[in-house]
Amino acid sequence: LQNILEGITEGFFALDRAWRYSFGNTVFSNFLGRSLEDLMHRNIWEEYPFLLNSQLHRKCMEVESTGRPVQFDENICEVGAVLRFTLSPFADGILVSFVNITQQVAAQEELRKLSLVASKTTNGVIIANYNLEIEWVNEAFASTTGYTLDEVAGRRPSEILASPDTD
């Protein structure tokens, strides 16, 4: 079992019913920058009191009381990371696995901002796939050219913008 848990790419730890670490893998200890030996048998809420006001704390209490697993994302500013947690009950406490999704969240936010700019700019914008086929155009493109997305989707810009119908 130890070899299996060391082989997974997610951080993993177990908490006993007194909220003490009873097991952890290397991904977990490396994330915290502490040795497993240093963490074992220590109470999570005493070691990291800032977690008492966290969603992780609330969800641990929920799993303890309901006996049902949960998954959620939380931005933990104190460690500078957005983590996706999965909490599952087991006979001796709660199993916790987590993945650092900070980069994915940042990329999604950047994409959201770029999408907003592309959709609101007064310049015509075309997004094409690797075959140079149109996948998306903004409102400015439609009002400038008179073509809607439905009319140009799947076509190449050169078919539309350099046709006998253009000037």
Per residue in 37-88, pLDDT (tens digit) is 999 999 999 999 999 999 999 999 999 999 999 999 999 888 888 899 999 9
Q: What 3-state class would DSSP assign to 12?
A: strand
Q: Could you tell me which of 76, 65, 138, 121 has the C-alpha nearest to residue 101?
A: 76
Q: For 93-136, how does the pLDDT look when each residue is reduced to its tens digit (9 = 90+)?
A: 999 999 998 888 777 778 777 777 777 778 888 888 988 998 88
pLDDT of residue 69: 97
Contact 93, 22 (CB under 8 A): yes
Is the four-CA dihedral 113, 116, 120, 122 of positive or negative sign? positive
- List all residues 6 or more positions away from 38 whose beta carbon is below 8 Å from its beta carbon: none
pLDDT of residue 5: 66
The pairing of strands 93-100 and 11-16 is: antiparallel
Largest CA distance in the chain: 77
Q: What 3-state class would DSSP assign to 56?
A: helix
pLDDT of residue 122: 81
Output the CA–CA distances (angstroms, integers) from residue 135 to 130, 132, 149, 153, in the order listed: 10, 9, 8, 5
pLDDT of residue 167: 55
